[in-house]
Amino acid sequence: MIDFLGLVLEAKQPALSRGVLDSFTWEWLAEGVLSLTPKQAYEKVVVLSAGVHGNETAPIELLAQLSQDIFTGQLELKVRLLLILGNPEAIRSGQRYIENDMNRMFCGVQQQFVATTEAQRVVELEQIVTDFFTNSHAQAQLYHYDLHTAIRPSLLPTFALFPYQTHAYDAALLASLNAAELDAVVYHNAVGKTFTHFTSSKFQAASATLELGHAKPFGQNDLSAFSAIDQVLRTVLSAQDLPMRKKKAMQTFQVADSIIKTEDDFQLNVTDSAPNFSVFQSGAVIATQQGKPYVVAQQQIWILFPNPQVKKGLRAGLILTEVN
């Protein structure tokens, strides 16, 4: 039995780095990285990551519980699985990140921050995922679910972001998100630097970043609020049929633009308490910098991840339009 989260919180290594159980083998590949391979043939290879932002604790707890249930035999593993707790140092300190936002540092960006904690971890994770995918059997379908919770409340509380990709979006991934009762899906319009963009662009994996509610410290999460995604992940890992959706249909959005903070005088016309998916009508001024306004040209837009406090050069919000 491996205490996946406990080892990370205590900054310890397991006594053994690999083992064989009745139905699967496991290997501790690095701090907070555990691979599990069923002894029977598998059709899917799945990466489940959480804690890329260290203060987003509910998904971390979900992965810890999944790991425990696989080891105790309560959850039968029928896919090849890589579990990742992304930023161990930030997880231990309860911070979003230590020096730089790790989820903006994949796909080569880490080379700009070579000596930092997060950059070194990105290099490590990219290599581990590369080895994991390339050493899985060639016919298997590749999946990556990167689990997060949001800094601010959201009018659509749970949603997925698909990285921009030129290959087709995977129907089975979309079906799993639909079954998980997500409120919305958002399609990116440009190349990104996120963990899921790396797995999608490098390996054509079916990848999605999941925002599953509001970020809270350890011990303050009501995990029953995450039961829908938890159930779906368990059905994916055990190759069972997906549950039926009970909520109204997911809304679909496309990223129309990114607001980039380039100046010290940047102002975002969004209150600190404004939720994700706040709506702006045509003609509204969303932001200003150096006296230049960002004016809504479309009839109606939604704003996602508004954050005027980001460092210069980073995204201060995404502008969305709805896809019917």
Give the CATH number for residue 130. Answer: 3.40.630.10
10 in catalytic set? no
What is the per-residue pLDDT across 83-133, written as a single tens digit (0 to 9) for each?
Answer: 999 999 999 999 999 998 999 999 987 778 778 899 999 999 999 999 999
The band of 211, judged by pLDDT with boundaries at 50, 70 and 90, is very high
Domain-located, residue 245? no
Does 224 share its domain with 139?
A: yes
Domain tally for the chain? 2
Specify the pTM: 0.95
Name the catalytic one among 76, 211, 263, 322.
211
What is the per-residue pLDDT across 126-179, written as a single tens digit (0 to 9) for each?
Answer: 999 999 999 998 899 999 999 999 888 899 999 999 999 998 999 999 999 999
Of 31-45, 119-133, 287-301, the least confident: 287-301
What is the per-residue pLDDT across 239-288, written as a single tens digit (0 to 9) for each?
Answer: 999 999 999 999 999 999 999 999 989 999 988 888 999 999 999 999 99
Domain region containing 78: 4-237
Does 110 share its domain with 227?
A: yes
Question: What is the CATH classification number for the domain harbouring 299?
Answer: 2.40.50.630
Does 205 share its domain with 61?
A: yes
310 vs 249: which has the higher pLDDT: 249
∠69-72-74 over CA atoms, to 5°? 55
- Cβ 263 vs Cβ 314: under 8 Å: no
Does 221 share its domain with 263?
A: no
188 is in an annotated binding site: no
Q: Which residues contact 298 (CB under 8 A, 6 or more apart)?
A: 256, 282, 321
Give the whole-angstrom CA distance, residue 289 versus residue 80.
Answer: 48
Does 299 share its domain with 273?
A: yes
56 is in an annotated binding site: yes
